[in-house]
Amino acid sequence: MLLEKEEYIEQEFFFKTFTQRLQDGYSTQEILYGMKSELLNATNLPLAVGVLLTEVKHSGKMSLAMERMSHYFTPFQTFVMRQAEKEEGRFDFRLALKVLEREAKYRSDNPTPQGVFFYQFETLSRNRLGFDYGLEAISNDPIFDDRWRRWINVILRRQIGFVDIAKLVYVRSAFYNLRDDEDPNLILFGEREGRIAFASQGRDPLFFFSALNRHIGYPEVVRQKRHEELENPEIVELRRKLELLEDKIQLLQEELKGGVNLERFYVK
C-alpha cells in the first residue's frame, strides 16, 4: 500500500536523524525512544517506531519488526535493514539508513515506478546485496503493478548476469520499435530512458545509472568511499570480477533447480 506524502517526509526525517544521533554516540534504543515524541503524531510513524523499539529490546533487530509491519514498510526497506543487521555482513548500518533516507525523500515528491526501480536496483548493484532476494523485494513494492512484477520476476531475475541491464531496459522502452504483433503493454520505460539505455549497452552498468541521474534526475544512490580501492585500481577490477562470478554461480544454482531455461540465450 502506498503511503501519504506526509509519511515519507517523516520517514526521511527519521532515518536522517537516526544516522546523526548514531554518530553522536547514542544507542539505537535511546534514539528510538527519543524520536517517538518528536515525530508528527498525524502520521503512523510514531506507532511504527514504538514497535521497532519493542523489537530492538527483545531481539536487537529492527528488520524483524519492519517485516511484521509490511503494510507500512516496503519489502525493500526491510531487505536493506536485514542486510545491514547481519553479523557476518559487510553492509554498514549507517549506510543503510542513508539509503532509506534518500529513498524516502524521493518518494515524498511525485515518485515514478521507473525512478524507484533504478534507485533500488542500483542500490543492490553498488553494495553487492544480492540480486535473488533483492529483486524479489523490489518486485513486491506497492508502486509496481502486475506488468512490472512480471518483468522483474520472470525476465530480470532470470537474465541478469547473462544480459546487459541496459539492453533489458532498452527493449522495454518507448525508444524500442515494437513489432506489430507485440503487446504495447510491454513498454515500462519512457523514450529518454530507452535512449540512454541504448547508448549504454556494453558499458559498465554504473555508467548507465550515472547517466540516468544526470539527464533525468533520478535519485543518486549513496555509497561509502573505499580508500584502499582508490589507491589500488586492481582491487576494483577484482571486485567486479568476483561480483560477476557470484551472479553466474547463483544462476547456475537456479538452473540445477530447473528455474532457468538457457535455450532463450541461444542464437538461432
Contact (CB, 8 A) for 251 and 161: yes
Q: Going by C-beta distance under 8 Å and a sequence separation of 6 or more, which residues neighbour residue 13?
A: 39
Look at the pTM and tell me if it is higher than 0.85. Answer: no
Instruction: Identify the three-state secondary structure at position 36.
Output: coil
Question: What nine digits make up the cell of 23?
Answer: 554518530
Domain ranges of the chain: 1-111, 112-268
Q: CA-CA distance, 129 to 202, in Å (whole number)?
A: 23
pLDDT tens for 236-263 read 667 767 766 776 776 676 667 666 555 5
CA distance 161 to 28: 37
Task: Give residue 238's pLDDT.
Answer: 75
**What angle in degrees, to the nearest 10, is found between the helix axes of 113-127 and 75-84?**
20
Identify the architecture of domain 1-111 in CATH: Up-down Bundle (1.20)
Of 39-48, 85-94, 112-121, 228-237, the one with minimum mean pLDDT is 228-237
Q: Which residues, in sequence order, are bridge partners of residue 160?
A: 163
CA distance 98 to 120: 13
Q: Which pLDDT does position 262 carry in this prediction? A: 52
Q: Which grid coordinates are listed for 70?
A: 509490511
The model's confidence at residue 181, banded by pLDDT at 50, 70 and 90, is: low
From CA 254, how far away is CA 192, in angstroms rounded?
A: 34
What is the percent of the chain with per-residue pLDDT over 90, rounded to a whole number? 70
pLDDT for 107: 96
Determine the average pLDDT of the residues in 7-30. Answer: 95
Residues 200-220: tens digit of each pLDDT: 999 999 999 999 999 999 999
